[in-house]
């Protein structure tokens, strides 16, 4: 496409072209997207040479904020990832991979979530997905009915991933499509195919097939047609031409390691981040009982006990910490606006900036983290932004004002300014 200057203003009228009674809402109606954000011209720069093109021709102010996180984190716990047990050196620790009931409207761990990791084309199953879902719903075995908190957040034809409802052991998530939405109440939806098992307040995430509103309704439902086969990273869903990330599905979190008695033990935690990048972290105790990881995981695949661990008779467990990751790189505390448990955070005590050198299994997070509480378990930092630990009822909201350099320097061939350096995949 040719470059061009035009006077403007630009107006995207969408379905407002005609009155509300006859308006046609088209499948591609939705928000506009502007590469590298949106700028406001400096009004002092007149006259503007509209027929000329040269770098730096138009003086402007650039700034785009992103609403990146908005959900209720799961109640923290010390054995949610792996129950207290004795590990075996050089062996993967059995994880807690059977779906458990959650709290209505709060995110929850989801078991056996299919994902397509970055650079691959085949779905693989993550043992656990942390703080999963944009909604919750109660399923019944062999039933197509799901009782949700608010069915107005669902769309007809939408593909879903329901945590742990895909097999009788509740170790696999269920992929299905919304076939109807109740109008007599706001709690009923039906799906196809039917869920396999009963789960109370199962976490519900977005599937990775879009364009459901563009398919003829009479033929779009059921597994015989094109079907989603994995979770959509960042909970991305269709918004007209755009596919936008859902802040409700962008919670990422650190993992804690704790022992019954002080001991020296280590292991490699492996999984993926919010965007499907494989990542690893070394978790280690050194004559102590508790520690918390520095990295924010979204999906967990395994924890392999180190060969040099002195354990063998002392039990330990893996749980959730209270450190949460930023979906996009956050270089400075001042570029963020964070609300936790009903209060705006006014201090930077729990903020850890992203690493900017090559990531290893022991370095911090590549996009930065914020620690909301050090309660119960000492976290990444000695301080936090709040004294309130994650409790299953408090909401965490993060708004990020991306730096001007980050926004302009970020390109398809250099994603580091926006998404950080490459994740570590080291196994030591």
pLDDT of residue 235: 96
Question: Does position 204 have pLDDT exceeding 80, yes or no?
Answer: yes
Residue 247 to residue 399: CA distance in whole angstroms? 10
pLDDT for the residue numbered 324? 96
Examine the pLDDT at 7 and tell me if it is beyond 70.
Answer: yes
CA distances (Å), 291 to each of 87, 258, 284, 316, 317, in order? 17, 6, 7, 11, 11
Confidence of residue 287 (pLDDT cuts 50, 70, 90): confident
Check: CB of residue 319 under 8 Å from CB of residue 81.
yes
Query: Of 99-108, 190-199, 282-291, which gets the smallest average pLDDT?
Result: 282-291
Higher pLDDT, 54 or 101: 101
Which of 107-121, 144-158, 293-307, 383-397 is least confident? 383-397
pLDDT of amino acid 375: 59
Residue pair 44/61 in contact (Cβ under 8 Å)? The answer is no
Q: Residues of the chain with pLDDT > 70: what percent?
A: 92
**For residue 64, what pLDDT is reported?**
75
Position 225 scores a pLDDT of: 59
Residue 81: per-residue pLDDT: 97
Measured in whole angstroms, the distance separating CA 148 from the mean position of its chain's CA atoms is 21
Check if the beta carbon of residue 4 is closer than 8 Å to that of residue 50.
no
Secondary structure percentages of the chain, helix, strand, coil, to 5: 5, 35, 60
- For 62, the enclosing helix (H) or strand (E) is strand 60-62
Q: What is the pLDDT of residue 255?
A: 96
Q: What is the pLDDT of residues 215-240, one digit of tens each?
A: 444 555 555 557 899 999 999 998 88
User: Residue 347 and residue 349: Cα distance in Å, rounded?
Assistant: 6
* Residue 214 pLDDT exceeds 60: no
- What is the mean predicted confidence (pLDDT) over 259-277? 94
pLDDT (average), residues 372-400: 78
The pLDDT score that the predictor gives to residue 26 is 81
pLDDT band at 260; cut points 50, 70, 90: confident
Entry pTM = 0.92
Q: Do residues 329 and 418 touch, judged by C-beta distance below 8 A?
A: yes
Within 96-172, strands assigned E span: 108-115, 124-132, 135-139, 145-148, 159-162
Distances (CA, A) of 329 to 351, 365, 421: 12, 10, 10
Residues 66, 128, 157, CA angle at the centre, nearest 5°? 65
Strand partners, 124: 115
| 426-to-93, 147, 259, 282, 422 alpha-carbon distances in Å | 18, 43, 24, 9, 12
pLDDT of 299 over the 50 cut: yes
**In the predicted structure, residue 131 carries a pLDDT above the cut 80:** yes
Tell me the percentage of the chain whose pLDDT exceeds 90: 65
State the Cα–Cα distance between residues 370 and 348, nearest whole angstrom.
9
Taking residues 107-127, report their average pLDDT.
97
Higher pLDDT, 372 or 44: 372
Q: Answer yes or no: is pLDDT of 354 > 80.
A: yes
Q: What is the pLDDT of residue 427?
A: 93
pLDDT of res. 217: 46
The per-residue pLDDT for 221 is 56
Q: How many CB atoms lie within 10 A of CB 324?
A: 25
Exposed / middle / buried, residue 195 (Cβ in 10 Å: 0-12, 13-18, 19+): buried
- Cα–Cα dist 407/400, whole Å: 12
Using CA atoms in the order 362, 363, 365, 370, what is the torsion angle rounded to 10 degrees?
A: 90
- Mean of all residue pLDDT scores within the chain: 89
Question: Do 298 and 129 meet the contact criterion of CB atoms below 8 Å apart?
Answer: yes
């Amino acid at each position: 496409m040719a470059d061009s200057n035009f006077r403007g203003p630009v107006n995207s009228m969408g379905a407002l072209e005609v009155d509300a009674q006859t308006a046609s809402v088209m499948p591609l109606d939705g928000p506009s997207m502007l590469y590298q954000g949106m700028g406001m011209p400096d009004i002092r720069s007149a006259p503007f040479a509209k027929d000329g093109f040269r770098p730096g021709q138009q003086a402007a102010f650039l700034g785009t904020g992103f609403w990146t996180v908005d959900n209720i984190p799961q109640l923290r716990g010390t054995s949610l990832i792996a129950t207290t047990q004795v590990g075996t050196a050089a062996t993967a620790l059995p994880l807690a991979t059977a779906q458990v009931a959650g709290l209505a409207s709060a995110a929850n761990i989801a078991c056996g979530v299919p994902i397509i990791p970055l650079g691959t084309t085949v779905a693989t199953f993550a043992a656990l997905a942390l703080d999963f879902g944009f909604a919750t719903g109660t399923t019944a075995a062999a039933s197509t009915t799901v009782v949700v908190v608010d069915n107005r957040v669902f769309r007809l034809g939408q593909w879903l991933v329901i945590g742990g409802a895909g097999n009788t052991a509740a170790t696999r998530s269920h992929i299905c499509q919304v076939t109807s939405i109740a109008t007599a109440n706001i709690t009923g939806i039906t799906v196809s195919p039917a869920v396999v098992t009963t789960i109370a307040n199962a976490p519900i995430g977005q599937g990775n097939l879009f364009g459901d509103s563009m398919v003829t309704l009479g033929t779009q439902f059921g597994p015989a047609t094109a079907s989603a086969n994995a979770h959509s990273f960042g909970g991305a869903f269709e918004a007209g031409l755009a596919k936008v990330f859902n802040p409700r599905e962008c919670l990422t979190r650190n993992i804690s390691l704790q022992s019954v008695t002080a001991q020296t033990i280590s292991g490699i935690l492996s999984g993926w981040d919010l965007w499907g990048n494989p990542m690893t972290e070394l978790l280690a105790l050194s004559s102590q009982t508790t520690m918390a990881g520095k990295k924010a995981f979204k999906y967990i695949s395994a924890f392999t006990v180190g060969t040099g661990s002195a354990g063998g008779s002392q039990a330990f467990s893996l749980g959730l910490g209270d450190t949460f990751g930023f979906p996009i790189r956050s270089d400075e505390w001042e570029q963020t606006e964070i609300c936790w448990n009903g209060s705006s955070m006014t201090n930077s005590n729990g903020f850890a900036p992203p690493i900017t050198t090559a990531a290893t299994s022991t370095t911090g997070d590549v996009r930065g983290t914020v620690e909301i509480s050090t309660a119960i378990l000492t976290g990444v930092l000695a301080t936090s932004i709040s004294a309130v630990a994650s409790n299953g009822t408090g909401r965490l909201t993060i708004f990020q004002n991306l730096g001007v350099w980050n926004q302009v320097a970020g390109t398809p061939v250099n994603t580091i300014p926006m998404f950080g350096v490459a994740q570590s995949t080291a196994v030591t």
